[in-house]
Amino acid sequence: MRKCSLDKINLIFAEIAKNAELYLPVDQNDGSAAYKKWEEGTAWSNKLNTVKSPKDFFFPQTEDLMQFKTQGKNIEIVDTRSALQDFVIFGVRACDVKSFDILDRVFLSEPVDSFYASRRKHGVIISLACTRPSETCFCKTFDIDPANPTGDISAWKTESEIFFAANTEKGAALLDKLSSLTEECDDAAVLEQKEKINAIMDKLPLKNLTTDAFGGGKTNELFNAPEWDELSSACLGCGTCTFVCPTCQCYDIKDFNTGNGVVRFRCWDSCMYSDFTKMAHGNNRLTQKERFRQRFMHKLVYYPENNDGLFSCVGCGRCLAKCPISMNIVKVMKKIGGKKDE
């Protein structure tokens, strides 16, 4: 384990940025935080988390796949991929780090998504333990320990210092490069920090939320639950939950006519949208209730069924904070799971 004074954090950033693009949470003028590329003078945000999750780095909201150039009746296919540079994402919370595992299972299983894979290869993740979780946090429900974030390098922040531990080869290599700025240390301070976090975790209002009622094999039991009607009743059908969600991985492939040809790109799609997976015969989910149910059944039943029981939610709480009508996975789990704690 290595540590460094927080005073020197900008030197660390500068060192990382020498060899790779460095991204970290930065305060925006609306009061929220977002991942931005670090440049000299960029200040690291103190916020618990960003509005948009870091899944953007591996699975961007919009990504060109290829281009067709037309000249008269001739069509030329152009590979629009450019060589990727190595990049480092700093300050990823435990929940968001976990989300990459969930995405990996989708994009890195056969057939491998080469766009995603190449970004994963070039990216190094420096995670960061939480210090002040929010009332909306429920990562514990999914066995995520905010005091022990994974990633290539784990980091803990105390009042004055920051501690690093490498978890992977990539991480170790990067940490090596920072050796002149950091010093070797024991994990006493980190353990103390972990204690503190665990103490707070025990006080979180959603600490008792469980996944007991969910998981693979529950389709028949839950699909026709009458509660879906009420839960979905106010849903506006917007894509906020999906787009702030670190684990939602659905996309649409679309063609954009540039006038000189076509750019084929993919962009995030939302199962909440009325034209989601619309096919020649029409929609397979006809009402907002069905679309709403799909989102949660996928996260809590279908995904675990296909992925060794792993749930497709990391309890980051973004959807709790951002849903325009305050309907979210916690309410669904409590209602459908019948575990509304009084």
Partner 1 sequence: MQRVGVFVCWCGSNIAGTVDVEAVSEALKSEPGVVFSTNYQYMCSQAGQDMIKDAVKEHNLTGIVVCSCSPRMHEATFRKTAAAAGLNPYMVEIANIREQCSWVHKDVLTGTEKAIILGKAAVAKVNLNTPLIPGESPVTKRALVIGGGIAGIQTALDIADAGFEVDIVEKKPTIGGKMAQLDKTFPTLDCAACILTPKMVDVAQNEKIRIFSYSEVTEVQGFVGNFDVTIKKNARYVKEEICTGCGACVEKCPMKKIPNEFNLGMDNRSAIYIPFAQAVPKVATIDPNACNMLKNGKCGVCSKVCAAGAIDYTQKDEYINEKYGAIVVATGFNPISMDKFDEFAYNQSKDVITSLEFERLTNAAGPSAGKLVRPSDGKHPHTIVFVQCVGSRCESCAEKGKEYCSKICCMYTAKHAMLTRDKYPDTEVYVFYIDVRTPGKNFDEFYRRAVEEYGVKYVKGMVGKVTPEGDKLKVQASDLIANKQLHIDADLVVLAAAIEPDKSARPLATMLTASMDTNDFFTEAHPKLRPVESPTAGVFLSGACQGPKDIPETVSQAGAAASKVIGLLAKDKLTGNPCVANSNELMCNGCSSCANVCPYGAISYEDKEFRMPDRTTKVRRVAVVNPAVCQGCGACTVACPSGAMDLKGFANSQIMAEVDAICK
Partner 2 sequence: MQKITRDQLVSKASELLSNGTVCCVLGWGMGEFDYDVTPTVFNTVEELNNGFVFNDFCGANFSKYLVSKAAKCDGKILVLLKPCDTYSFNQLLTEHRFDREKVYVVGIPCEGMADVSKVKAICGEGILAISSNGDNINVTTLYDENPIVINAADVLAERCVNCKSKKHVAYDELLGDEGEVIESNRFDEVARLEAMSADERFAFWQNELSRCIRCNACRDACPACTCEKCVFDNPNSGVENKSPANSFEEKLFHIIRAYHVAGRCTDCGECSRVCPQNIPLHLLNRKFIKDINEFYGDYQAGEEVGMRAPLVNYTTEDLEPGEVFDRGADNA
Partner 3 sequence: MQVNEYKPLIVAFCCNWCSYAGADLAGNNRLAYPADVKIIRVPCSCRVNPMFILRAFQRGADGVIICGCHPGDCHYTSGNYYTRRRMAALFSMLDYLGIEKERTRVEWVSAAEGAKFAATMNDFAKTVASLGENKRLEDLRCKK
CA distance 183 to 293: 51
Q: Which amino acid is at 172?
A: A
The CB-of-324 to partner 2 minimum distance in angstroms stands at 4
Q: Which does 71 bind (CB under 5 to 8 A by kind): partner 3, partner 2, partner 1, none?
A: partner 1
Region of 14-22, 75-83, 270-278, 295-303 interacting with partner 2 (CB under 8 A): 270-278
| Interface with partner 1 in residues 269-298 (CB under 8 A) | 283, 286-287
Give the residue, chosen from 91, 123, 239, 315, that forms a contact with partner 2 under the rule CB under 8 A.
239
Q: Which does 224 bind (CB under 5 to 8 A by kind): partner 1, partner 2, partner 3, none?
A: none
Q: Which does 223 bind (CB under 5 to 8 A by kind): partner 3, partner 1, partner 2, none?
A: none
| Interface with partner 2 in residues 219-238 (CB under 8 A) | 230, 233-234, 236-238
- Closer residue to partner 2 (CB): 2 or 295: 295
Give the residue, chosen from 21, 252, 290, 305, that forms a contact with partner 2 under the rule CB under 8 A.
252
Give the residue, chosen from 61, 260, 284, 326, that forms a contact with partner 3 under the rule CB under 8 A.
260
The CA distances from residue 183 to 4, 162, 193, in Å, are 6, 11, 18
**What is the x/- site pattern for partner 1, positions 60-99, by CB under 8 A?**
----------xxxxx-------------------------
Residue 75 in the binding site for partner 2 (CB under 8 A): no
CA distance 144 to 311: 11
- Closer residue to partner 3 (CB): 69 or 322: 69
CA distance 135 to 133: 7
Give the residue, chosen from 8, 36, 285, 331, that forms a contact with partner 2 under the rule CB under 8 A.
331
Q: Which does 67 bind (CB under 5 to 8 A by kind): partner 2, partner 3, partner 1, none?
A: partner 3
Residue 263 in the binding site for partner 3 (CB under 8 A): yes
Give the residue, chosen from 206, 248, 314, 332, that forms a contact with partner 2 under the rule CB under 8 A.
206
Residue 134 in the binding site for partner 2 (CB under 8 A): yes
- Closer residue to partner 3 (CB): 8 or 254: 254
Contacts of 233 (CB under 8 A, 6+ apart): none
Give the residue, chosen from 256, 260, 284, 338, that forms a contact with partner 2 under the rule CB under 8 A.
256
The 3-state secondary structure of the chain reads CEEEEHHHHHHHHHHHHHHCEEEEEEECCCCCEEEEECCCCCCCCCCCCCCCCHHHHCCCCEEEEEEEEEECCEEEEECCCCCCCCEEEEEEEHHHHHHHHHHHHHHCCCCCCHHHHHHHHHEEEEEECCCCCCCCCCHHHHCCCCCCCCCCEEEEECCCEEEEEECCHHHHHHHHHCCCCCEECCCHHHHHHHHHHHHHHCCCCCCCCCCCCCCCCCHHHHHCCCHHHHHHCCCCCCCHHHHHCCCCCCEEEEEEECCCEEEEEEEECCCCCCCCCCECCECCCCCHHHHHHHHHHHHHHHHHHHCCCCCCCCCCCHHHHHCCCCCCHHHHHHHHHCCCCC
Residue 266 in the binding site for partner 3 (CB under 8 A): no
Q: How far apart are the first and last CA of the chain?
A: 43
CA distance 52 to 318: 8
Total residues interacting with partner 2, rule: CB under 8 A: 51
The CB-of-132 to partner 2 minimum distance in angstroms stands at 6
Residues lying near partner 1 in the complex (CB under 8 A):
70-74, 257, 259-260, 283, 286-287
Q: Under the rule (CB under 8 A), what is the footprint of partner 2?
A: 28-32, 34, 48, 51-52, 61-62, 132-136, 200, 203-206, 230, 233-234, 236-240, 242-244, 252, 254, 256, 265, 267-270, 273-275, 320, 322, 324-327, 330-331
